[in-house]
Structure formats: structure tokens, C-alpha cells
Amino acid sequence: MSPEASRNARQARPAPGALLLCRAEPESVASAAQLLREHMLLATAGAEWSVLLPEGGAWQEGGEPVDRVLTGWATALAVGHPWPVLALWWDADRAGYSLAAGFRRPVGYVWLANGTPVGEDEAMRTFAGRLGLDPVLDMQSLEELTRPDSAADARARLRGLVAVLTRAGVSLPPGLTPGDSAESLHEAIHDQPHVRIEWSGRRNALPAELDAGEDGRLGPWLPRAGGPRARALALAEVAAGLPLAAWGLRHRSGGWIVAGAVLLTHGALGLAYSAVLPLD
């Protein structure tokens, strides 16, 4: 195949894409999303849900796989907050999800492009349990997504997953459909009330970190709240963040580097909080 034909073939392949669903109001998500250091669009996705649409990504130029980036981002957003984060991703060969909640190990599922399930059934059960879905009715619908279906490709599987989540309160903006092109997704967001999350640079990084920490579950544990629990949590974050960041660097995974960096930053802020913000 000639270089031009090879380039045209790559361009004809469906482009990767991703969404992040957070079980929290946009006001709570906005400050936490700044920690990802990425430009994103944020909109309401139901009474208790928000959706983040990345405006770029390491996967756009054929770099890091979209699933790895999104899993790292979801983990980083979920750390230190009482709400779970669900990453939906797709590329030319596969589609899937990754659910992150607090410090627990993310759980995910994958379908090949033709819809063939390659995940584990236990992942679906864990997924349903962490989101508080109905163990009977919702699990029946989720189990359907793990069975062969020649009429459903990978992106149809994602849409089926979102249909189940509507019973948990998810309501994506009209036109925002997992699997669609980036242009279609951005048009759908821009047609709805939304805000743009921007990485404002190192100068404003510290206030963003502090705001996100105080809004999340870490607030009562920070040193200004007093007690040894805050220091213990901060040390645990540092201890967890170091290997995550090291793994991300070793595998050149920007998403996991972010997750490790967020843990390290929260931990460092926890240890130094009283020096940064004097007690009232």
C-alpha cells in the first residue's frame, strides 16, 4: 500500500472519542476538572449528573490509547470526592467504559468494534453495585450487553449502557450520543447551557487544588479541620500517588500520570495546609 493510500485509510477510520459522566452538580465538578489540566466543556446531564467533553486529548494524534487516558482522568476526578466518575470511550477498534469511585480500583468493560463483548461479567455486577442500580431489573439489562448480538456494534452497546443509566438519573443533552464524531458532540454541548473548563496555568493551580479539596470528601479531613486523621489521609495519598505516577511515566500514560499527580498534590496540600492557609 502506498503512503498516500495508507494515510487515507487511517483518515477513513472512525476517530476516537470520549465523555466523562460525574454524579455531581456542575458547580462541584468544575473546580475538580481544573486538576486535569485539559480544556473541557461541562454541562448538566440530569438532576444529579454532569458531563465533561474533552476538547482535545493525547489520543487525537495517534498517541496514547483513549481508554488509558480516560481511565486515568476518571480516577483523578474521583479521588477525594464523594461522587463516582464514569468514562465512556470509543475508537476504531473498540468501545467501553471505566468507572472510578474514590480510592477503589476502577472497573471497566470493553466491546470490540463489531459488538463482541470481551469483558468480565463480574465487572458489570460491580458497576451496578457502585452506582446503586437495581440488582434485578437493571442487571438484566446490563447482562444483555455482555451477550453476543450480531445487530449491535460497540457504539450501540455504549448507547445501551446509557439507556440503563437513565434509570439512575442520567439525561445527556440532546444530540450528545456516545460514539458520534467530536464535531457532533461539540455541537450538542454548545446548543445547551455549558461552561468551558480551562487550564489556567501554574500560577492559579494552587487555588484550584484547594477549592477542589474543600468541596470534596477531603475537606473535613484536611489539617485545618484538626486531628491525626487528616495527616494519615495525606500520607496515604502521597504513598498511593507515587507508584501511580511512576507507572504512568514508565508506560508513558498521561492519564495515570495525572491521577498520581492529583494524589500527590492532595497529599502534599494536606501535609502543608496549615502553612498555606492560616487557621481562623
- CA torsion, points 138, 92, 106, 169, in degrees to nearest 10? -40
Q: Which of 123, 108, 82 is nearest to 255 (CA)?
A: 108
Predicted local confidence at residue 92, as pLDDT: 92
Three-state secondary structure along 61-123? CCCCCHHHHHHHHHHHHHCCCCCCEEEEEECCCEEEEEEECCCCCCEEEEEECCCCECCCHHH
- Residue 64: closest CA among 245, 249, 279, 276: 249
**pLDDT for the residue 112:** 97
| Domain edges within the chain | 3-196, 218-275
The Cα 245–Cα 216 span in angstroms is 22
> What is this structure's pTM?
0.72
Strand partners, 111: 95, 117
131-173 pLDDT, tens digit per residue, is: 999 999 999 999 999 999 999 999 999 999 999 999 999 999 9
The amino acid occupying position 69 is V
Positions of the chain with pLDDT under 70: 1-13, 58, 60-62, 199-280
Q: What is the pLDDT of residue 213?
A: 41
Contact yes or no for 119/99 (Cβ under 8 A) = no
Number of C-beta neighbours around residue 206 at 10 A: 12
